[in-house]
Amino acid sequence: MRSLTLPFRIRAAFVLTLLLSVQGALAVEPGVDVAAPRVAISQVADNFVFQPARIVVEQGDWIRWKSVAFSTSHTTTSGTPCVANNLWNAGLLPGAQFTRQFTDLPGVIPYFCSPHCGIGMTGQVTVTTLISVQASGNLGTLTLTWSGGGGVYQNDVHGLGAAQPGKGPLLSGHEQILRVGA
- Per-state percent for the chain, helix, strand, coil, to nearest 5: 10, 50, 40
Same domain, residue pair 77 and 119: yes
The residue-averaged pLDDT of 139-147 equals 77
Do the beta carbons of residue 118 and residue 89 sit within 8 Å? no
Domains contained in the chain, number: 2
pLDDT for residue 37: 67
Q: Are residues 115 and 49 in the same domain?
A: yes
Query: Is 143 inside any structural domain?
Result: yes
Distance CA 142, CA 157 (A): 5
What's the CATH number where 43 sits? 2.60.40.420
Rg (CA), the chain: 20
Q: What range defines the domain where residue 173 resides? A: 2-22+130-181
Q: Are residues 145 and 90 in the same domain?
A: no
Note whether 135 and 121 are same-domain residues.
no
Q: Are residues 157 and 88 in the same domain?
A: no
pTM: 0.61
137 and 159 housed in the same domain = yes
The per-residue pLDDT for range 73-127, each reduced to its tens digit, is: 999 999 999 999 999 999 999 999 999 999 999 999 999 999 999 999 999 999 9
Examine the domain organization and report whether 49 and 113 are in the same domain.
Answer: yes
Q: Alpha helix locations (H) across 74-174?
A: none
Q: What count of other Cβ atoms lies within 10 Å of the Cβ of residue 160?
A: 16
| Residue 165 DSSP one-character state | T
Nearest CA to 108 among 56, 175, 157? 56
Q: How many CB atoms lie within 10 A of CB 1?
A: 7
* Residue 27 within a domain: no
Give the pLDDT score at 163.
41
Is 94 within 8 Å of 72 (Cβ atoms)?
yes
Span 20-79, pLDDT tens digits: 444 333 334 544 444 456 899 999 999 999 999 999 999 999 999 999 999 999 999 999
